[in-house]
Amino acid sequence: MEPRVKGRVILFGDNINTDVIIHARHLRTIDPAELAEHAFEVLGDEYPQKLRQFDILVAGENFGCGSAREQAASCLVGAGLKAVVASSFARTFFRNAINTGLPIVECPPVRGAVQEGEEVEIDFARGTVTTPKGTFTFPGLPPSVMEILAVGGLVPYLKRKFATAGAPPPRAG
Amino acid sequence: MGMTLAQKVLAQTSGKPTVLPGEIVDAYPDLVMSHLASWRSIRQLEQVGVDRLYDLNRIAVVLDHRSPARTPEDAGHHQLIREFVKRHGIPVYYDVHEGIAHLVLMERGHVLPGMLILGTDSHSTIYGALGAFGTGVGFTEVTSVWLTGCVWMKVPESVRVVITGRFPPAVFGKDLMLALIGQLTANGCTYKSVEFTGDLVANLSISERMTFCNLAMELGAKCAFVPADAVTEAYLAGRAKRPYELLRPDPDAPYARQVTVDASALTPMVSCPHQVDNAKPITAVQGTRIHQAFLGSCANAKYEDLEVAAGILKGRRVHPDVRLIVTPGSREIYLQAMRSGALQTLVEAGAMLTNPGCGACAGDGGSLGDGEVCLSTANRNFLGRMGSRTSQIYLSSPATLAASAIKGVIADPREFLA
């Protein structure tokens, strides 16, 4: 995971649900690049291509609500998005983003501070999002969770864990 | 300070005497359910390159969402899952003929009060109907718990929903939940645990408790509970796979918010496109033309639901311009409704009966064409969910669905159930 990401913003509103992000009929693969070919397709056939022209997705409240489908996060990775900034996230999307290595930032003021196509910069170490209208701070993720995101998601995290420690000790009792 | 149900379950599954809201714990789930998504978890397991699973007795696999296979590709995914289940000797496995994973696992006594259950399905909150902490996760998280037995969880704050009064005629649990979601919004309980309590809940059937806890997901909830009681015990008698305790919240447990609902003041409700919180009283939408009516899903395709619909449709006909699709939630429900005559009544009225499972709710048959309108007893009406991007989904109770299927337009069930 990059310590800083900078790029052009694609903008969405509140309550963007997983059916809109990627429809159930496209869950035939787990390859992020293949999934990205159908991202936001329900909004228009041009959306999967449009998405690729941007770097950071900015949305309002409750982004990723609905299904627990992990592909809602991984299709955004496949589309080349470097991060998602939202006023709030649905909890299943929040976990899925971490597990697929997609950096997420909960920072409510950002949605109102950018226009589509403008540039923003996220500094994960400092916990800041810099927009044309000013710099906003966000609380960092807990260190144990950040560890998963930092290595690129749950599969690489598990690979490392098992390579170094073997299976974790069984629970007592 | 006492603990809520969510705190108690996370304390006992993380080996701690107490936990506080906001705290992050390493919990050991009692059960991990995966449905069709299991094939993806298996592929991720291959990526990790480790094949020794933590505890086979904490794994449940149920093949819903696309059942039976619609394409050779589906069939291949099913094959991969069956082979995996056999090779590891996973004891809790139900194939494509059994129905919706949530309902099957509850009917077969795998879900017990106080358990922590993860599922590859957001509506895993439904397990709270039996006093269990159920919550949805993605498929890689399932792979991780298969391997490590463990998952990080943030202890949620809890919201207490106190329900008083009695349902008026033709008003059901679904109507209450649609009204509540309309009031609190789709973001109203995000990250939170919802506990349902009050006089109405104390006498409520497990079927209606399932509808409550299922729909709580549409408030954004992490989990939802009806605290286990005598009704729970009666349901579990002869089903429970092992002994259990009736876990209850402490009287001095901390709640972030309390919401009171007077059931007596409710009317039939309908959620309008394209968000569940776009809920309106029936009087605001009646007369809206429908092309399809879907009686199915983990929210409302239980035996009681089929009985309510059959009661209204008995001796009547489905409107000639409406396709009524009935998808019983599980094989047990199917058999029960077969014995009672409800299935015959529904088919005589003109319904199309499918195999038990998720059916049209998950896009498995029953697709909508351009501009078509569907009234559904499911839990989501998101844009394009059931087909064309110009189609529309309205959500209602089984009673409103049956009344509407007869009239050909969204109709008030009080005309039939006064």
Q: Domain ranges in chain B?
A: 5-261, 269-415
User: What are the DSSP calls for B167-201, one per residue?
Assistant: PPTT--HHHHHHHHHHHH-TTTTTT-EEEEESHHH
pLDDT band at B363 (very low <50, low <70, confident <90, very high): confident
Mean pLDDT of B185-214: 97
CA-based angle B244:B250:B252, to the nearest 5?
A: 175
- Domain covering B5-261 in this structure, CATH number: 3.30.499.10
Neighbouring C-beta atoms of residue B320, cutoff 10 Å: 7
- pLDDT, position A173: 37
* Segment B243-272, tens digit of pLDDT: 999 999 999 999 999 999 999 999 999 999
Two domains, one topology: B5-261 and B269-415: yes
- pLDDT, position B378: 98
Q: Residue ranges of chain A with pLDDT lower than 50?
A: 172-173
Interface test with chain B among A92, A102, A159, by most B beta carbons within 10 Å: A92
The Cα A93–Cα B119 span in angstroms is 14
pLDDT band at B114 (very low <50, low <70, confident <90, very high): very high
Cβ proximity of B175 and B269 under 8 Å: yes
Asked whether the beta carbons of residue B50 and residue A70 sit closer than 8 angstroms, the reply is no
- pLDDT, position A172: 41
Asked whether the beta carbons of residue B141 and residue A88 sit closer than 8 angstroms, the reply is no
Average pLDDT of chain B to the nearest whole number: 97
- Report the gap between the CA of B350 and the closest CA in chain A (Å): 29
The Cα B216–Cα B126 span in angstroms is 8
Neighbouring C-beta atoms of residue A72, cutoff 10 Å: 31
Asked whether the beta carbons of residue B49 and residue A153 sit closer than 8 angstroms, the reply is no
Q: Say which of B52, B187, B389 has its CB closest to residue A62.
A: B187
Domain annotation for chain A: domains and CATH numbers: 4-140 (3.20.19.10)
- pLDDT, position A1: 83
The Cα B61–Cα B41 span in angstroms is 11
- Taking the whole predicted model, whether its pTM rises above 0.95 is answered as yes
- pLDDT, position A166: 60
**Token reading at B89:** 């000797």
ipTM score: 0.95
- pLDDT, position A167: 57
Residue whose C-alpha is closest to residue A49's, from A84, A10, A105:
A10
SS3 at position B303: helix
- pLDDT, position B386: 96
Cβ proximity of B372 and B387 under 8 Å: yes
Cβ proximity of B416 and B399 under 8 Å: yes
Cβ contacts of B75 on chain A, cutoff 8 Å: none
Q: Say which of A70, A168, A171 has its CB closest to residue B139.
A: A70
- pLDDT, position B362: 87
Query: Has domain B269-415 been given CATH number 1.20.1600.10?
Result: no
Query: Does B235 have pLDDT greater than 50?
Result: yes
Neighbouring C-beta atoms of residue A71, cutoff 10 Å: 33
